[in-house]
Structure 1
Amino acid sequence: MEWGTPMTIRDASRKSGLMIASVLAIAAVAIGLGVSEVRVGGPVHRQMDDLASFTSDILPPPLFVTEAMLRVSDAANLGGALDQDKAELARLEAEYRASRKRWAQSDIDPALKDSLAKGAGAQADRFWQEIDDNLIPALEREDADAAAMSQGKVRILYRKHTEEIHKLTKVAAEARGVLDVSAARTILITLVTMALAVAAGMGLVLVGLRLLGQRVLRPLAETASLMSAMAGGDLSRSPEGTEREDEIGDMSRAIVHFRAAAQDQRESAEKQAVVVTAMGASLGRMSAGDLAHRIEVPFASEYDELRAAYNQAAAKLDKLVARVAESARDVSAGSVDIRGATDDLARRNQVQAASIEESTAAVRQTSVLVHETAQRTRQAHEVIAAANTEVENGKHIVEDAVRAMTAIQRSSQEIGQIVDLIDSIAFQTNLLALNAGVEAARAGDSGKGFAVVATEVRALAQRSADAARGIKNLIATSAREVAAGVSLVGNTGDALAAIVDRTAGITTLIAEISRSSEDQANSMEHVNSAVKEIDHLTQQNVAMVEESTAAARSLAEEATTLADMVAQFRTSAGAAAPEGLRRAA
């Protein structure tokens, strides 16, 4: 980035930020790589952890077959538990094979893998092969010579394996030392990178701050001071930096335009002050009633149309006031004539209203009498109708009574039949009780209790028969009386029917009289309404005449007031017209 080339503040800030961000990003990547190498779980840490695990596997088992050698010595003693030793040796061999496979597939140093495969691993493989192929079968056959020979071979292989284990341990320790040195070197490089990144970042920040102060802050302070002076009214200073192509240059050029606009505004304000003074004085004279005044001194070119408009409006208003004065004089003269005519009309309407009011009272009294007659006729009709209704109700009640007594007679007959049935049942019960008593007497002592019950049943049946005969007699008597009542009620119904026919004729006559009275009342009501309407219209005419009189009087007063108001103005025609207007009023 070249600082001497024209560049906006935004571009400079963006490029500076990108530069600082790039330096910080590179430093962050370098630091991240270094930290990832030496962090817990990183490659260096994993290699160290693998070496530690590898060392723990070779010293002692499973890669170092020390425990297996002890089991071989124990198994060589034929008096021992061979099966237990075989199982333990099989377990140790399986652990050895699994450990060999795990380290062969791990990420440890290839030199360690090669040393394990060709040195300690190869000797251990032959060690386990001798045990599986020769020693265990000899022990199972209880062949002491073969077992002793095989055990000797196993010891030789164990010693060779031990030597290779020591070599492998030494190689692992050397690899651990190399890793320690590599980790220390990585940490040192990371720290140096961090220091360089911090120094570069601080240097870039300092350079940026210096350039910011020279190219941005100081010009901004000068611009702010200039704008404060312009706000206070000082337009003599010119801004600096108008040739710059950044935001400061844009602000300086904008201030130049603001300064020119402020100067133009100041000149315009001075011109406006002249216009406002002249217009204020002219409007003041107009508000005082002087309509003949005109503005003769020309304004600035952009405001001279306002002067012409004022002069034109004042001339039109002058003519308008003169015309209003003339119209007010004519209105005042006409209002005097209207007031005289309305006064005469009001007197005539009052006389007519009095006559109509007397006619209305007479018609109203006649209408009241006709209404009272119609009302009394209506009441008589209602009384007759109510009586007819009562007779009709009585007739229906008698008919209901006849039907009820007929039903009672029918029910009495049914009750008689039921009583006959009860009497028959009592007779049969008596016979059954008699037979039961005979059978109980034949039974001797064992039937005494049953005989007592049969006697009680006979007595109860006898009482039921007696009661049934009594009820039958009562029902027969009631039936005769009900039949007599039915006959009497029927006669009453015939009498009521005759009364209903007579009252129906009377009701018809009263209804015709009521309709005639209603028609007369309606006719009188129409006449009364018409008279009321005439009276109402007459009263309205009186009120309207009074309103017209009041309006004419008010019009005369308003004409006088208008003359007084117009007299306050001084027109080009002079003050003679308003004086003549007041005399006419």
Structure 2
Amino acid sequence: MPAAFYGLSTRIYALVALALVAAASLTFYTLNHASQTAYDLRAGELRHITDIARSHLDAHNARVEAGEMTQAEAQASVAQILNDLRFGENGYVYAFDSDIVYSVHPFRPQWVGGESQRDLKDVHGNRIFENILGNLDAEGHSLSTIYFENPATKAVEPKLTYAQYYEPWDWYLGTGAYMNDIEADIAQMRMQALMGLGVALAVLIGVSLLIIRSMLPPLNALKARMATMAEGDLDADVPGLLDRSEIGQMAHAVANFRDGLQMQAALEAEAHIKDEERQRVVAILSQRLAKFAQGDLTVRVDDAMPDEFRQVAEDFNATVTQISDLMRTLVAGVERIESESESLDSSSRELGMRTETQAASLEETSAALTELSASVKNSAEESRAASERVQQASERTERGAQVVRRTIEAMQGIEESSDKISSITSLIDDIAFQTSLLALNAGVEAARAGEAGRGFAVVAGEVRALAGKSSDAAREIAELITNASREVETGVSLARDSGTALDEINAHISAINETVSALAEAAREQATSLSEITSAADQLDQVTQQNAAMFEETSAATQRLRDEANALAQNARQFQVDDADPVAQRRAS
């Protein structure tokens, strides 16, 4: 494939051509789709108009069914409404029956109620109503194209017709739209789309030419300059630096690359000179570092050094001086550490002895507190046992008081029974008295009867004798019950006194129980406190023993520290320090 096909201009032209083809294809597809959509929209509009007309028929038919008007009146009213119904510039609605007799036609009033128009034909000889009725679907809707006179132009034009059947009145409702109106709208839309496509094509072509003419010359100039740079020309200017687009950025990148090549050449020239100076500096520093490694802290770099290594020499001298001062301070510090270590070792030994003495005292104190805690604990347990025994005595006293209360209740019951028995004996005494009177009356009557009532008189005498015995027995029982009642009252009084005494005893026992419980609680708290004190003393004893052990370890560590300080002092004295340095002397002081 030729190299021209890979050129940037060829790619831009190809991209513009592809954009033009895509725009044209999209425009034609949109126009075709818009035409079909226009016809579909117009058909939907026609159906909507007939639905509106049908709604008027439904409303009037409902009034007919409700008996508000006759069907003829309803049809006349609907015909007036449909005659006045308009849409668009010349749109109207008509209606005819199955015999193709018009019921409504705004522009053909002579056809309304006249002859059948079944044989009506268009300019091509086709029967109009056969076409309309032949396209009816299952729902009674028809969409067809006929040729009919346009009321506006008085010319026969193709017309898109929509009709639907209304079964209750046997009417066909129809309307239509002339194709010329639809085609005019579509033609206008096509013209506008083609004009827009033409303008877009012109703009794309102009923009592509402008882009190519503005891009290719600067790019070719940059390509030529980069070729001369590759041949070694690093002094010529780079074209396109003033351009503000990506080409200008490319030119700046090429200029930066040229400057980098220039700097690289200058650096390579300086590198050889600096390499010789660097070797000399390395030799001097190696010699001084060897002395420094041997412990000579008086070494310095006093030779003439290049500017880039002068700071290294100063840093080396400053470092050696600081280390020298540090070693001098370190030796003095080690000597102080030796002195302080000996003092610390002596103090640690003395403190260890005191700690051991304190640990022994704490151990004895802990043992005494343990014995005291055991004694208090025993006292608390005995107090708790006494409290439990007092509680048991209180419970038994309470049970005795309950028994006395039940005894009082029983005696009260006996007293009530005695009162009832006294009432019964009184009743028996009255009955005996009445019986005696009756027997006396019977004896008097028997005496009056003479010999015939003698037997009855004997019986009356026996009855009077029994009544007297019953009366005597009732009086004896009453006396016994009276005596028993007095004894029962005495027993109730004594039992009540016993219950009062038991309640007082129970109150005293409860007070004693509270006192003993308080003593037991106090003893328990004392035992707890002594246990805590004993535990704290044991812990303090353990801590003291641990401190003693730590003091022993500290003493050993202090001894090791003194030994290490001696070794450190010996090692520090191996370094050679310049004592004549006034700065070092001032820092050491």
TM-score (norm 2): 0.41
TM-score (norm 1): 0.42
Specify which structure has the higher proportion of helix: 1
Specify which structure has the higher proportion of strand: 2
- If asked which structure has higher relative contact order (CA below 8 Å, sep 6+), I would say 1
